[in-house]
Structure 1
C-alpha cells in the first residue's frame, strides 16, 4: 500500500510504506484501532495553529516594544525549514517535528508581520482575513465535491508550485549575486505586473489546499499510522503560512501604490 504526499514542500516519499514503520524505524504490523483519522488530523491542525500563534506573539511583542527580534525571526525561518526537511524524510517523527515547526515558523511570521504592520497599518488583519476566507471557500468547494482532486489536477498544481519555488530561488540568487531584483519579488513593487504575479501565486497556494484536504481524507481511508495525522496537519499548516505571506506581499504592493 502506498500513498504519496501531494504537498510539494514535503515531497512524495514521506507516505511511501509509512504504514509499515514505527517511530523507531522498525517494521510493525498495523493496529487498525490506532490509525489516522480525519478528526485526528483536524484536531492536530488546531494545535499547530495555536503553537504558531504563540510563537508569532513572542516576536511581535518584542518588536512592538522596541526590542530587536531579527535573530529569533531569522532563526525561526531556518529551523522551521529544517523541521520540514526532517519530516519529509522521517514522517514517523512528525509528532515532534510538526509542533517544533509551528513554533519556529510562528517566530518568523510574527517578526515579518510586525514589520509589515509598521509600514502599512491594518495589513495584518487584512492578510489574516484573506487567508481564512480562502481556506473556508476551498474547504467548502472540496467538501461538497465541487472541485475534484484528480491526478491531472494534482500534476498541474504541483508543477505550478515547483515553478514558483524555482522562480523565487532564482530571484533570490540574482538579488544576492548580481543585486538584480526580478519582477514580483519586492514587496514594495506596486507595478501591475508584480501585483498580477502575486495574485497568480495566491491562486496556486489556494489550490494546494485541495491537495492537503485530499491527503488527509485519503490517509484516513487507507488507515495510515497515527503519526501521519501530525504529518498531514503540518502539510496543511505549511500551505496556510505560504498563503498568508503571499497575502501580506500582495496587500503591501497594493498599498505602495497609494
Structure 2
C-alpha cells in the first residue's frame, strides 16, 4: 500500500517488533495518544506566541524558536521514523519542538495578518473533523488508484519545494510560492487539497494496522504520523490565507 507520509511506509509497519507485553494497537488508544501530542504541541506553541505579543519584541526574536523547533523537530521525526519502538518517548518530544516552531511561524503570520492564525487552526481542524467523519462512516474509502495519485502529487509538490529552496539560496524566487496572484493562490489551494487528502491515507493505514494487531507502542507512532500531515496542512492553510489577505 503506497503512502506519501514517510511515517506510514508499508515497510515501517510490517517490520514493527512485537510489544513485550503482548498488548496491541487500538483506535481508541491511537486517538488518545493523538490528543496528548496535540495538547503538547499547543502548549509549546503558546510560549513563543505569548512572548512575542506581550513583550513588543521584533519578529527576529521568533527566529530562535523557529530554527530550534524546526531543526530539532526534523531530527526527532527522523529518529522516530527509523526507530518506531522509541515513539512513546520521541513523539512527545517532536510535538514539543514542532510546537515551538509553529508558535513562532504563527506569530509572524498573525503580526502581518491579524486573525489569520485562528482562521488557519479552525480550518485545519474543520478539515480533520470532516475527513475523519467521512472515513469513519465509510462515506469515503481510498482506492489504490486514489492513493497512488495522491502520493504522486505529494512527491511532485515536495520536488517543487526542494527546487524553490535551492533557488532561494541563489537569490531567486520560484513562481507561485509567495506572490498573491490568482495562479499562486490556485497553486496553494491545490497543495492544501493534496495535504488534506493525505489524511484519508493516514486513516486507512492506522485502521489497517489496528486490524492486523500492530504492537501497542505503534499507537504513539500512528498519532505521530498523523501529526506530520496535520502540521503540513496547517502551514499550507496559513500560506493560502496569507495570499488571500495580501490581495
Q: TM-score, normalised by structure 1?
A: 0.89
Deviation at 1:21?
Answer: 4.8
1:45 is the counterpart of 2:34: yes
Q: For residue 129 of structure 1, what is the aligned residue in structure 2?
A: 122
Q: For residue 241 of structure 1, what is the aligned residue in structure 2?
A: 231
Equivalent positions of 1:109-258 (< 5 A) are 109-177=102-170, 179-186=171-178, 189-257=179-247
Alpha-carbon distance in 2 for matches of 1:231, 1:147: 24
Change (3 A) 1:140 1:247: same
Alpha-carbon distance in 2 for matches of 1:38, 1:104: 25
Alpha-carbon distance in 2 for matches of 1:234, 1:149: 21
Deviation at 1:66?
Answer: 3.3
Deviation at 1:166?
Answer: 0.9
4+ residue runs over 6 A deviation: none
1:63 is the counterpart of 2:52: yes
1:9 is the counterpart of 2:1: no
Match of residue 73, structure 1, among 29, 51, 66 = 66
Structure 1 unmatched runs, 5+: 23-27
Count of aligned pairs between the two proteins: 242
Deviation at 1:240?
Answer: 0.9
Alpha-carbon distance in 2 for matches of 1:17, 1:165: 26
Deviation at 1:141?
Answer: 1.4
Match of residue 99, structure 2, among 86, 106, 127 = 106
Structure 2 unmatched runs, 5+: none
Contact 2:5 2:229 in 1 (8 A): no
Deviation at 1:190?
Answer: 0.8
Alpha-carbon distance in 2 for matches of 1:155, 1:5: 6
Deviation at 1:7?
Answer: 4.7
Alpha-carbon distance in 1 for matches of 2:226, 2:101: 17
